[in-house]
Structure 1
Amino acid sequence: MAYRQQDHYYDSAHGTPVHPGFPPPAPTNHNQQYPAYDNQWDDRPGSAKSVQSSQFHGSQVHLNPQYEMSQTHIHTPPVPSMPYHAYQPDYPPVPVRPGPLREMSTGYSVAREKLMKRRSVRHVELQNGNLVLDVAVPSHIVPHGMGSAEEMTKMRYTAATCDPDEFMRRKYSLRPYLYGRHTELFIVMTMYNEDEVLFVKTMNAVIKNIAHLCGRSRSKTWGPEGWKKVVVCIVSDGRSKVNKRTLQVLTLMGCYQEGIAKDSVAGKDVTAHIFEYTSNVVVTETGEVSTGNCPVQIIFCLKEQNKKKLNSHRWFFDAFGPLINPNVCVLLDVGTKPTSTSIYELWKCFDKQSNVGGACGEICVDTGRACSLLLTSPLAASQNFEYKMSNILDKPLESVFGYISVLPGAFSAYRYRALLNGPDGKGPLASYFKGEAMHGGGASGAGLFERNMYLAEDRILCFEIVTKKREGWILKYVKSAKAATDVPTTVPEFISQRRRWLNGSLFASFHSTIFFYRIWTSGQNPIRMLVLQIEFIYNAVQLIFTWTSLANFYLAFFFLVSSATTTTDGAFNFLSQGAGQDIFQVFLKLYIALLFVVTVCSLGNRPQGSKWIYSLCMVLFGICNVITLWCAGWTVYLAVPHTVAGWKDFPQLVATNQAFREIVISLAATYGLYFFSSFMHLEPWHMFTSFIQYMFLLPSYVNILMMYAMCNLHDVTWGTKGDNGSTKDLGGAKKVKGENGKDMMEVEIPTAREDVDRMWAASRSALKVKAPEEKSHRDAATKQADHDRNSRTNVVLAWVGTNMLMILVFTSQAFLNWVNTHFATSQGSNFNPYLSFLFIALAALSGVRFLGSLLYLIFRLFGH
């Protein structure tokens, strides 16, 4: 037997001291019982004895016959944490000293296998008819002096056997609700199979943001106890798909334990495993552990089946939301890294303006260390430029109007009250989740248009909030809230991602344009309604140009190259002599051939199956764009005076020289405003690091991405990932009768603190070894599916037909003869009137974007 004396354990048989925290040595007589194995000699809060006496009061305990005593004991003494009143955002972390850890030659998998064999059977009383377990966390992470705080010494496990919508009706509960805390911020992190590197990047960024909130001592809302007003919810989509190393990180944080979860309760299948713990542990991707600046209330929801990201959000909004009842909900994708003050900046927007229903920050590209990704990947650089210009021109313009067409799901926030449905069950959340049943093959009866529209459910949500009847919500852009995210760096990933974006945004834009009149019943003030009406008109014009972008890009190429290779009333033009016309015809036919190749590939192949063809097409399209820009410059050169005297009367030159006026003004209004607005926002660096790559790949954004998206309208399986079944490998909880006649649950779980500590140490050791890279392989079914593409003929024909008709009309000989007859200038320019219209229209749209960007900066300067 062993007894405790002054924090040391003594073996009563031998009188030898044992290291603090270690169980006594195994008895030499193997027939002897193990009364001390369950740590029942230890009365410290959080010990197995304490847990048994408080949590399983009146329960029966039966040891598993396979329960064996291990000869390896691992213990890490708890580390004193910072007092709650001393939170500082930049306080250096206190490292956890591992103590006398032994090397575990058996590895993580062997430790897990032993743990499964050494579980004990407990009879647990149901809570409101549901299985809820409070289990002790590893002793390594229990904060010093927090022995009486149940949320920091015990992890709560809840086995949910219902749909998210029934969570509250089935009387399930959560700790923040039981503690009666007001939740100001409810943060959701959605993940599928992201590795520990991406998870840690996002998780640690969230912890820094919460530490910043706790450090705002002068705030009326935040301060040292601010962590109690923040709940972080991690939702993982599918237990069989979750990354095992990510689970090990959660184990080190105390938010997950092996051997606790059950896949059935009283014969009912478990739909979600919910783990709750208030952790102050910060973990790196290599398993380094330290204490954080403040505790964090964490809910880890591990869904049993893979049911897509939308279902993960339904657990967040419909299951947990009514219990937590937060003021503001923040949406984050695992892999997105907000800066240390970004979440506060988003929250402040809601706090300052009561009519803000949603807000987003600036999503920027994670360019790697020293912006290395911009130098090594032209594809990433082009996306960096695209993201930056959207955040400089488009988002500020829409924020001034009050309606942002899409708040990115990777980093955005919503006022919970603005999301709620009305008494009739209709509202933003009902519309948002309507697409969940549509992406599984059309069983819902929805048509192709509606199913594609709900690929962009975040756009639908934004439209529903702004047009919500009689509530007058607006959406805002918060420039100071920044978050970095990973972007596709390979052609197949890039095309696949944009397919969903383009199809969803196109049809969602049609939806919002058709139902624009709903803005007049939204409860906005008259001035706001008029401004929003102007925005809907602007969006309709943008939609028309998006639909005809394929034809417009080709016509610009055709007319500019044609203009540079045509003799103009005897003017010297070497491109019109000899090889110039031949070169023009070669590239004209090349352009048409590339469109044909992309169309064939889009109809029959996945990007992963034709990546080299797509890559080659992107390079050739880029060369065509270089020639187009060179011809535009050459045309301007031919049109402008070549003497100093000719430039003296500049206004007369602009008024009389059509080519100079239309090309120069349109280019200046587009690319000139890119430079000017970037400097105006004090962010010009992307113009020097990414502009050339973006211009080279610009034709591919139009010709390849749009073509592939339109040819794959039938593909509306948003993120099923090929697996939505259950894995029955956890064991179940059986309903039995207790001694007092009450219904009890018989569960088999680890009981000894030693086992929990061993798994914690094994997880830490496993993370120190870098995971091998996994190569994806297509199975036979996927390869066959790569060639099965149909049921989108009508839409593709309408789209291609519209664009081809425009090309045939504006490049026909009859039209060109009519142009030469009626639009020839005194300089003999053969400039095309449609190209003039195109340049003027693009310049006008660019002017609107610039004006909105300028107004946003002015309003931001005055705090609006």
Structure 2
Amino acid sequence: MDNYNNSSSYNYTNNGFPSPYSGDGFNQKPEGDFVGGWVGIAAPGTMIANPLQRAAYMPNHDSGGYENARQRLLRRRTVKKIALTNGNLVLDIPVPRSICKAAQGEEFRTMRYSAATCDPNDWTADRFTLRPFLMKREIELAICMTCYNEDEALLYRTLGSVIRNIAYLQTRTRSKVWGANSWKKVVVFIVGDGRKKANERMLKMLSCYGIFQEGAMKDHVLDKEVTGHIFELTTQVIVDPQGGIKVSDCPIQLVFCLKEKNQKKINSHRWFFNAFCQQLQPNVTILLDVGTMPTDRSLYHLWKAFDKNKKVAGACGEIAVDVGSLGWRLYNPLVAAQNFEYKMSNILDKPLESVFGFIGVLPGAFSAYRWQALKGRPLEAYFKGEQLHNGQLEGGSFINNLYLAEDRILCFELVVKSREPWILKYVKSAKATTDVPDGVAELIAQRRRWLNGSLFASMFALIHFARIWTSGQSFLRKCALQLQVIYNLVQLAFTWTSLANWYLASYFLMQSATSDPNHDPFAGQGKAVLDIVLNVYIALVVVVVVASLGSRPQGFRAMYLGCIILFAGLFALVLYCVGWTLYVQLNQVGLFDSSGWTTSHIIHLLVSSSNIRSIVISVVATYVLYVLSSLWMLDPWHMLTSFVQYMFLTPFFITVLSIYSLANLHDVSWGTKGSDAASSDLGSASGGKDKTKEGKQVVEVKVPTSSADADELWQHAQADLAQKIVEQKQHRSKSVKQTDNQQNFRTQFLLFWLGSNAALIIVFTSNFWLQFTKDDLHLSTNPYLAVLFWSTAALAAVRALGSLMYLVFRIFGH
């Protein structure tokens, strides 16, 4: 430490940062011209040269340079007697000289390491502390970035955008909260889910930031297992995936919590909320997944929603699909279909829910919460999911599936919180992009958890709707929320019967087109084509059910791709029959005559023909409203780039994703396996018998003390990031066997769902029903189809009205 603080041992550049050519023997200036210059720190806004150019001048640099330097650093660690801080191991480790100024304070020049030996809930009780708390800084914004094994490129996307957002806060000079030194009011947390699961190149990137040093970590302190490694540093650099260093315009308070065990994302959130936020007491918290990239002003817009309305408990922005440069990823139909889904959700669903004040789910990848609103029951209910998944609580299959979507439970608990009138808000101006699955197997695996969690969460909210009337909401808000409950009930009914609805709609539309032999769209073979289509559909359903029972989608990629093609082909036949039916009926009433396109003629046609009326109203209410709502939200391009792909993939989404999800209700995992074994590969802080004059315990611990060693490891980490790697496929571990009761629940629920949909199909396609509608009711069309079309139109109209109301409220500042 003393050697580190001796600034006379090396020179400084004009901007106050250490010169790379200091006289320590390692950073000697090479002979001749150095192309590209030094790769260390530069003036703010300056991009550093490619570290590969510098690597050529590094002594003994090879592909194993980083590992060799790492081993040397670990060997050179000095055994020191360290006094425990409040009974806890806290170390101040010098950061590489290349990323800090000598004139800067201790928080810039030393990385603070705390070996947490407690549960997150006991962080404060066990007297662990964070630097901002010790400095008595008032924290307005706490940002949590969760990661598992994401690589350095995804970390750069998220952390780089967060840094730009904090820099933007510095420019808000007229704000009462933000402006100069705003960075002191923001703390950025990166929570890694498992030390041995962390991506090696991501850790090297964090090493280049100076926020991670492996040599400082310990696995035991006085025989207590370390549960989390907490690194703290205030830094001013940005590291790109190739190891290039850029100086940011403002510092950031960065905390890296590397959990010793892999215990899932919800446990990472418990570290953030129950340990760090409980101590720092921020006003607003923001949740991000590593890989999500907010735009440069999005975090400010999210925060502004809380500042403008003190009743806002949570908010989310628009999550958009990363379509790549010039939209090249949209060439993949799966990506395009998901892009359309995301867009329409942000144009229709989220605004409607925001008007009511209750958004069903604030996505964990990009959302914000008021810390005051989270306290108490909301967080207690949210973290109940961790206890269920860890086996600490017995909840049964319904509750276990419910807590696959614990963020939905959190939203519900916030809105119905007793004696507090909290609302949830959608913020259109806050945007972030994220990657989506580009393969069919990955998409199915992702949607399994989403669909099962949302289904049971919707049931839970409907079952407990009476809690709305015991909440702290105003009477008018309670009435609005009750209307939303009714709307959600109708939506749930349509979701439940979606399999039968798609089959019946296809059946009736094709039957109507082929009923008249004189106008058969298949040249007299319409009945045969209809039978083939229905049999193929039933066969596909059977195949998907069998494949979904206990088999991973990765093992049936070809089969699922075949399903996509066949379902799209069936849908094309249905569209052809609809177009043919419209053409025949319009031709019969003379609409294609020279005098047919008059207003009175068209109105008479719609009134007199129930077939045309139902189809036109349904199409207009659905697809035309898609266009109109996209236009008034000033975001129409997905209609041109993604609508067709979404339309033809709709049968696949309805059938395959639903069947696979319900066929795997017994699987309540998140797709990651916990690492529960205690480790002993880092060394420990032992002793504890000696005490200082103040009575503090003293332990013996190996710590890195040489800044030159830290510099060497930092340079190798930077050079390694510049080396391109060949991506290797990860081998998934085998699924854990599920208990008999979970499998029984899965089987019974699946049979009930399939049986209820099959019952609808049998009833409404039976000869008795068809004869009854013709002879007894004298109806020319099947009433079920008319109800289905008009209900679809009504639901679409409600969504569009909500979207329009949201836009009006937004214009007038509500």
- If the TM-score is normalised by the length of the shorter chain, which range does it land in? over 0.9
Mapped pair 1:283 → 2:232: no
Q: Equivalents in 2 of 1:734, 1:746: separation in Å?
A: 5
Structure 2 match to 1:587? 533
Structure 1 match to 2:706? 752
Mapped pair 1:145 → 2:146: no
1:784 Cα shift? 8.9
The more displaced of 628-637 and 721-730 is: 721-730
Contact 1:185–1:229, Cα closer than 8 Å, also in 2: yes
| Structure 1 SS opposite 2:272 | helix
Contact 2:50–2:244, Cα closer than 8 Å, also in 1: no
* Gap runs ≥5 in structure 1: 11-17, 26-74, 83-91, 422-426
Give the partner amino acid of 1:480.
S
Give the partner amino acid of 2:303.
W
Structure 1 match to 2:786? 836
Q: Equivalents in 2 of 1:252, 1:535: separation in Å?
A: 50
Map 1:144-223 to 2 at 5 A.
Answer: 145-146=103-104, 149-223=105-179
RMSD: 2.5
Structure having greater relative contact order (Cα 8 Å, sep ≥ 6): 2
Gap change, CA 1:165 and 1:784, over 3 Å in 2:
closer
1:525 Cα shift? 1.4
Q: Equivalents in 1 of 2:403, 2:50: separation in Å?
A: 50
Q: Deviations over 1:378-427 (max 9, x none)?
A: 00000000000000000000011111000000000000000000xxxxx1
Contact 2:143–2:286, Cα closer than 8 Å, also in 1: yes
- Residue from 251, 260, 272 that aligns with 2:216: 260
| Structure 1 SS opposite 2:804 | helix
1:652 Cα shift? 2.1
Q: Which has the higher helix share?
A: 2
- Residue from 434, 439, 454 that aligns with 1:490: 439
| Structure 2 SS opposite 1:330 | strand
Give the partner amino acid of 1:761.
Q
Structure 2 match to 1:735? 687
Mapped pair 1:237 → 2:182: no
Q: Deviations over 1:152-206 (max 9, x none)?
A: 0111000001111011100100001000001000000000000001011100000
Give the partner amino acid of 1:478.
V
Q: Deviations over 1:43-84 (max 9, x none)?
A: xxxxxxxxxxxxxxxxxxxxxxxxxxxxxxxx97974655xx
| Structure 1 SS opposite 2:486 | helix
Contact 2:225–2:678, Cα closer than 8 Å, also in 1: no
Structure 2 match to 1:109? 67
Q: Equivalents in 2 of 1:439, 1:335: separation in Å?
A: 25
Q: Equivalents in 2 of 1:680, 1:256: separation in Å?
A: 47
1:629 Cα shift? 1.8
Structure 2 match to 1:613? 559
Mapped pair 1:804 → 2:758: yes
Map 1:549-628 to 2 at 5 A.
Answer: 549-567=498-516, 572-575=518-521, 578-628=524-574
Percent of aligned pairs sharing the same letter: 50
The more displaced of 104-113 and 299-308 is: 104-113
Contact 1:453–1:503, Cα closer than 8 Å, also in 2: yes
Structure 2 match to 1:70? none
Structure 2 match to 1:40? none
Map 1:618-697 to 2 at 5 A.
Answer: 618-640=564-586, 641-642=589-590, 643-648=593-598, 649=600, 650-697=602-649
Contact 1:78–1:142, Cα closer than 8 Å, also in 2: no
Q: Deviations over 1:804-856 (max 9, x none)?
A: 1101100111111112224556xxxx421100000000000000000000011
- Residue from 448, 451, 462 that aligns with 2:400: 451
Structure 2 match to 1:856? 806
- Residue from 364, 375, 378 that aligns with 1:420: 375
Q: Equivalents in 2 of 1:576, 1:817: separation in Å?
A: 25
Q: Equivalents in 1 of 2:575, 2:764: separation in Å?
A: 20
Q: Equivalents in 2 of 1:352, 1:292: separation in Å?
A: 29
Give the partner amino acid of 2:722.
K
- Residue from 739, 743, 747 that aligns with 1:790: 743
TM-score computed with the length of structure 2 as normaliser: 0.92
Structure 2 match to 1:13? none
Give the partner amino acid of 1:523.
G
* Gap runs ≥5 in structure 2: 12-18, 27-36
Mapped pair 1:542 → 2:491: yes
| Structure 1 SS opposite 2:549 | helix
Contact 1:466–1:474, Cα closer than 8 Å, also in 2: yes
1:532 Cα shift? 1.1
Q: Equivalents in 1 of 2:759, 2:701: separation in Å?
A: 70
Map 1:301-380 to 2 at 5 A.
Answer: 301-375=257-331, 377-380=332-335
1:290 Cα shift? 1.4
The more displaced of 641-650 and 264-273 is: 641-650
Q: Deviations over 1:296-343 (max 9, x none)?
A: 001100000000000000000001111110000000000000000000
Give the partner amino acid of 1:553.
W
Q: Deviations over 1:453-503 (max 9, x none)?
A: 000011000000000001100000000000000000001110010000000
Contact 1:79–1:143, Cα closer than 8 Å, also in 2: no
1:657 Cα shift? 0.6
TM-score computed with the length of structure 1 as normaliser: 0.87
Give the partner amino acid of 1:768.
A
Contact 1:824–1:831, Cα closer than 8 Å, also in 2: no
Q: Equivalents in 2 of 1:481, 1:686: separation in Å?
A: 19
Q: Deviations over 1:690-729 (max 9, x none)?
A: 0010011001111000000001000001243354434321
Contact 2:86–2:127, Cα closer than 8 Å, also in 1: yes
- Residue from 401, 407, 418 that aligns with 1:469: 418
Structure 1 match to 2:14? none
Q: Equivalents in 2 of 1:594, 1:724: separation in Å?
A: 41
Gap change, CA 1:5 and 1:530, over 3 Å in 2:
closer
Equivalent residue pairs, number: 780
| Structure 2 SS opposite 1:221 | coil
- Residue from 654, 673, 681 that aligns with 1:721: 673
Q: Deviations over 1:512-567 (max 9, x none)?
A: 11111111122111111111111111111101111111111111111111111111
Give the partner amino acid of 1:669.
A
Q: Equivalents in 2 of 1:715, 1:19: separation in Å?
A: 55
Structure 1 match to 2:664? 712
Q: Equivalents in 1 of 2:38, 2:125: separation in Å?
A: 42
Contact 1:606–1:786, Cα closer than 8 Å, also in 2: no
- Residue from 422, 436, 439 that aligns with 2:389: 439
1:94 Cα shift? 5.6
Give the partner amino acid of 2:494.
F
Q: Deviations over 1:414-443 (max 9, x none)?
A: 00000000xxxxx10000000112224x55
Structure 1 match to 2:356? 401
Q: Deviations over 1:636-686 (max 9, x none)?
A: 222222334455432222211101100011011001111111111111100
Contact 1:77–1:140, Cα closer than 8 Å, also in 2: no
Mapped pair 1:761 → 2:715: yes
Contact 1:361–1:483, Cα closer than 8 Å, also in 2: yes
Q: Equivalents in 2 of 1:19, 1:142: separation in Å?
A: 12
Structure 2 match to 1:460? 409
| Structure 2 SS opposite 1:738 | strand
Q: Equivalents in 2 of 1:7, 1:235: separation in Å?
A: 37
Gap change, CA 1:726 and 1:240, over 3 Å in 2:
farther
